Every structure is written in structure tokens, then in C-alpha cells.
């Protein structure tokens, strides 16, 4: 791939994102003279923004609500991005093609391993949401022996469509209680990003279950704090954020990302 001419995060909104702090710490550590910037791109401006970034030989990340739309905008996809159906990492290759990748899968797997102490085996994962983040969760579930997923979404049709793509491990459910009964419960929605809202009533969680919230906020999300206070193992989206960002950095530059520097950058907020 070409050396990037610009590094960006595409999303709407993006003012809350810690990605610029994290990626700029990695760039400084590697001695790379680029800056990573957040671009708030309204959906109506998405296509023209992509064309400008392509001309600038840009690379970067994509967050809500653009991950699935970015998949369509790319000229080619890695096999993992094709399978997940969402792009969170992109770059321009030597032929000038916009290439989409997905490092959310690796980021989520790292978050689960950190929370549980090891990768899951022979258990059920309850997934809240049916967008690009939930697809990355299901791609990770496919790699864990004996693990299946139950998926709940406010729009049942979306959950059914997503589970059809991962039908070997996933099943859509219309009762949120089925999610609470899982050994690992994952919030793959944006609930709790801007307020103290919780994606599922903690009273529905089984004793001993673990919680992974893909949302992150300063001081953790209310859901994670409350779950931990009730004795559940729980973590927010910071581990996933750092690991997916490190994997993206290594994709762009072909050198190891300084994960310690990246963690220090997000922990000082």
C-alpha cells in the first residue's frame, strides 16, 4: 500500500472520540510525521468526502454511522471486511484503489479475553444490536469453539438479516430476556454513549455472567459501573478501541504500534 498522505476518523458525531489522542501517541512513538484527525461527516456529505480523501491518498478509521456505507464505497475489501459486511479501517493501495478492512473483530476478541482472562469456550453470547459492531462480534464468535450467539435488536428484521449471514453460530431472538441469560452479554449499540442509559436491565443478567460494553466514556459507562457493583466481570469499549486502533496502525504502516503509548493517551482523559 501507499504511505498515507492523511489520517482521519470518519463518523457523525466524533467529538467524543479518543482515537486522535491514541493514534497521535502511536505516531509520535514511531517517529511518523503525520497527524490523525477526526472528521465529523454528515451522511449527506459522505460520498464527496470519500472522493476527496481518495484523492489525498488518505487512510483512517470509520465509526458510526458510516461503517456499512464505507463497505459499499470501497473498491475492494479484505476477506474479513467482506464477511463482516462493515469497514472500520481503510487505505489506498499501490494501484490507487480504496481498500476496506475490519480490525473491530480483533479488537473485540482482545476485549473479551481481557475481561474473562481467556477466550470463551462452550458458552452463549448475548448480543444487543444488529449493526456493523454486532457483525464484528459475531465474526469473533465464529472463531471460539462451542460458542453461539443470541442477537436482539429493536428492529427484529435487522437481527434476522444479520444472523442469516452468521447462521452457523447466531440466532435472532425477540425476547431481551434471552440475552440476559447468556454467559457473556455484549452491548453493540450506542446506548449509553451520551447519557446514563443502560442497554438492558441488570436484573435480567444471570449470576456470574460477564459484560462487555463496546461504548466507552470517561469513567466508564453507567452500565459497566452498575454491573461491576453487582459482582459481574465488566469492561467498557476502551480495550477494543486501543486494539482495533493498533491493528489499523500496523495495517497502514507495517510497523508495530506502541500499545503502551496508546493506552497512556486514553487513560489520561
From the list 67, 71, 150, 232, the catalytic residue is 67
Long-range CB pairs of 117-122 (<8 Å, 24+ gap) are: 119/144, 120/144, 120/147, 120/183, 120/184, 121/145, 121/146, 121/147, 122/146, 122/147
Cβ-based burial of 194 (10 A; exposed 0-12, middle 13-18, buried ≥19):
exposed
Respond yes or no: is residue 67 known to be catalytic.
yes
State the Cα–Cα distance between residues 243 and 119, nearest whole angstrom. 15
CA nearest neighbour of 214 among 232, 183, 184, 193: 193
Active site residues: 67
Amino acid at each position: 500500500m501507499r504511505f498515507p498522505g492523511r489520517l482521519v476518523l470518519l463518523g457523525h458525531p466524533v467529538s467524543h472520540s479518543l482515537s486522535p489522542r491514541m493514534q497521535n501517541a502511536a505516531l509520535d512513538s514511531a517517529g511518523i510525521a503525520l497527524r490523525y484527525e477526526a472528521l465529523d461527516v454528515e451522511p449527506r456529505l459522505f460520498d464527496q468526502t470519500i472522493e476527496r480523501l481518495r484523492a489525498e491518498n488518505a487512510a483512517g478509521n470509520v465509526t458510526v454511522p458510516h461503517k456499512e456505507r464505507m463497505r459499499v464505497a470501497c473498491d475492494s475489501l479484505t476477506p474479513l471486511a467482506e464477511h463482516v459486511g462493515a469497514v472500520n479501517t481503510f487505505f489506498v493501495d499501490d494501484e490507487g484503489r480504496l481498500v476496506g478492512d475490519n480490525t473491530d473483530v480483533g479488537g473485540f476478541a482482545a476485549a473479551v479475553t481481557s475481561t474473562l482472562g481467556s477466550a470463551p469456550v462452550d458458552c452463549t453470547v448475548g448480543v444487543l444490536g444488529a449493526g456493523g459492531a454486532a457483525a464484528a462480534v459475531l465474526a469473533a464468535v465464529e472463531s471460539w469453539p462451542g460458542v453461539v450467539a443470541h442477537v436482539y435488536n429493536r428492529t427484529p428484521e435487522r437481527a434476522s438479516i444479520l444472523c442469516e449471514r452468521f447462521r452457523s453460530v447466531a440466532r435472532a431472538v425477540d425476547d431481551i430476556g434471552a440475552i440476559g441469560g447468556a454467559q457473556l452479554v455484549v452491548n453493540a449499540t450506542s446506548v449509553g454513549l451520551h447519557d446514563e442509559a443502560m442497554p438492558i436491565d441488570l436484573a435480567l443478567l444471570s449470576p456470574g455472567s460477564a459484560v462487555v460494553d463496546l461504548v466507552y466514556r470517561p469513567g466508564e459507562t453507567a452500565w459497566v459501573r452498575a454491573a461491576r457493583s453487582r459482582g459481574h466481570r465488566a469492561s467498557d469499549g476502551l480495550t477494543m478501541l486501543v486494539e482495533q486502533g493498533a491493528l489499523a496502525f500496523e495495517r497502514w504502516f507495517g510497523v508495530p504500534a506502541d500499545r503502551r503509548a496508546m493506552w497512556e493517551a486514553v487513560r489520561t482523559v
